């Protein structure tokens, strides 16, 4: 296998033909992919959330399915159904769109909580159960969900159990004026997502996922990760802090970041850089903190300042 960094840079360069000026967000998306995790892209309409998912699917050559979430969508529309075949006299399973390698859950917060919960088993256990029969997901498997802010009309907040299953959450934001002009130029004739080519395959992605797990993490850094998660649980502005799944997400993404930078070990800076994207969406602020205007980013930054960094020496 090629160097992991080379493979990742090839994917990023390919996707950059579609998503302009968002290299940090692209690297985070590739980080989630090689960790075998799921990604939540939250932002206002029209900034490229759906195109990012499509571009990654095309670049990796993985089987791609899209689910357009609407208020009338049913759980069976996602997982699939068993249909009686009159010729054979047996029930046949018709797989739903969730059974694919890369699944785009577009505008996931437009469906009702009942329908959103159909993703729970698939995202955590990599399987779906229909009529008592379990069906495994293909590998690699990744859910890339997009959502608009919940204060917009016609949306439903995601259940906390589902939000916790996303490895990371990213915000794309508006492009700079220069990048926006470049977007206009690129799409004058045709959309770039229609012309980009596959640059890797599922086999290499699985190899990258195995390589991530081999990255060394010092016991002191493991303690640092756990202390950060505990700090969010004990914070005075927090009603519900990061779960143990959040600690694991920070641990795994730190390994992936080291791999993408051609290192075989994790540093405290890796952990600090990824703390917000892995822990932020798992934190629920207290009502009093919301009234005061405290944000999740403020809480994470405060926790990072409170927890001693491994290897740091106190100044005299």
User: Cα-atom radius of gyration of the chain, to the nearest Å?
Assistant: 20
Q: Which residue has the tokens 């926006």?
A: 180
What's the CATH superfamily of 213-306? Magnesium chelatase subunit I, C-Terminal domain (1.10.8.80)
Domain boundaries, the chain: 4-210, 213-306
Buried b (16+ CB within 10 A) or exposed e, 49-65: bbbbbbbbbbbbbbebb
CATH number of 4-210: 3.40.50.300
In this predicted structure, what is the pLDDT of residue 214? Answer: 92
Q: Which pLDDT score is estimated for 80?
A: 87
DSSP 197: -
Whether residue 81 has pLDDT greater than 90: no
Q: What is the pLDDT of residues 251-268, one digit of tens each?
A: 999 999 999 998 989 999
Beta bridge partners of 238: 285
Distance, in Å, from the CA atom of 271 to the CA atom of 23, rounded to the nearest integer, reads 19
- Output the pLDDT for position 150: 60
Q: What mean pLDDT comes out for the span 230-245?
A: 92
What mean pLDDT comes out for the span 45-49? 79
Mean pLDDT across 210-222: 93
Q: Of the candidates 52, 315, 295, which has an alpha carbon nearest to the alpha carbon of residue 172?
A: 52
DSSP state of 159: P
For residue 105, pLDDT over 70 is answered with yes
Exposure letters 115-142 (e unless 16+ CB within 10 A, then b): bbbbbebbbeeeebebeeeebebeebbb
% of the chain residues with pLDDT over 90: 39
> How long, in residues, is the chain?
316
List, in sequence order, every residue forming a beta bridge with 104; answer none if it has no partner.
66, 144
Among 47-61, 92-106, 268-282, the range of highest mean pLDDT: 268-282
At 33, is the pLDDT very low, low, confident or very high (cuts 50, 70, 90)?
very high
List, in sequence order, every beta strand (DSSP E) within the chain: 39-42, 64-68, 80-85, 90-95, 102-106, 127-130, 133-136, 142-147, 168-170, 238-240, 284-285
Which range, of 99-113, 144-158, 203-217, averages the lowest pLDDT?
Answer: 144-158
Cis peptide before 140 (omega within 30 of 0): yes
The pLDDT of residue 151 = 59
Q: Please answer whether residues 95 and 83 qualify as being in contact, where contact means their C-beta atoms are separated by less than 8 angstroms.
A: no
The answer to whether residues 2 and 208 touch, using CB atoms and an 8 Å cutoff, is no
Indicate if the pLDDT at residue 38 is higher than 90.
Answer: yes
More confident residue, 181 or 84: 181
Closest CA to 116 of 57, 160, 154, 151: 160
Angle at 147 between CA 141 and CA 277, to 5 degrees: 70
- Say whether 213-306 and 4-210 share the same fold: no
State the first-to-last Cα distance of the chain, in angstroms, to the nearest integer: 49
Q: What percent of the chain has pLDDT over 70?
A: 97
Number of neighbours of residue 85 by Cβ within 10 angstroms:
10
Residue 36: left if φ>0, alpha if ψ -120 to 50, beta else—which one?
Answer: left
pLDDT of 316 strictly over 50: no
Angle at 53 between CA 202 and CA 188, to 5 degrees: 120
- Among 80-94, 117-131, 261-275, the least confident range: 80-94
pTM, entire model: 0.88
């Amino acid at each position: 296998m090629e160097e992991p960094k080379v493979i990742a840079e090839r994917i990023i360069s390919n996707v950059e033909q579609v998503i302009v000026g968002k290299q940090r967000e692209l690297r985070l998306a590739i980080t989630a992919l090689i960790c075998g995790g799921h990604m939540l892209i939250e932002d206002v309409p029209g900034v490229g959330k759906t195109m990012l998912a499509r571009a990654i699917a095309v670049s990796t050559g993985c089987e791609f399915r899209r689910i357009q979430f609407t208020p009338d969508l049913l759980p069976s529309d996602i997982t699939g159904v068993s249909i009686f075949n009159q010729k054979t006299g047996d029930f046949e399973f018709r797989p739903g769109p969730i059974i694919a390698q890369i699944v785009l859950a577009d505008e996931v917060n437009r469906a009702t909580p009942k329908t959103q919960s159909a993703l729970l088993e698939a995202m955590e256990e990599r399987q779906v159960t229909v009529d008592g029969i379990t069906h495994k997901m293909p590998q690699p498997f990744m859910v890339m969900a997009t959502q608009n802010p919940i204060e917009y009309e016609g949306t439903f907040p995601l259940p906390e159990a589902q939000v916790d299953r996303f490895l990371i959450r990213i915000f794309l934001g508006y492009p700079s004026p220069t990048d926006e002009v470049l977007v206009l130029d690129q799409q004058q004739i045709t959309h770039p997502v229609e012309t980009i080519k596959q640059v890797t395959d599922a086999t290499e992605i699985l190899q990258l996922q195995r390589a991530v797990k081999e990255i060394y993490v010092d016991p002191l850094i493991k303690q640092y990760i756990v202390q950060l998660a505990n700090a969010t649980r004990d914070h005075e502005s927090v009603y519900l802090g990061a779960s143990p799944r959040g600690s694991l997400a920070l641990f795994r993404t730190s390994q992936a970041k080291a791999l993408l930078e051609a290192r075989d070990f994790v540093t405290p800076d890796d952990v600090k850089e990824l703390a917000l994207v892995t822990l932020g969406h798992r934190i629920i602020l207290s009502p009093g903190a919301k009234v005061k205007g405290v944000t999740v980013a403020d809480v994470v930054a405060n926790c990072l300042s409170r927890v001693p960094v491994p290897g740091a020496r106190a100044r005299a």
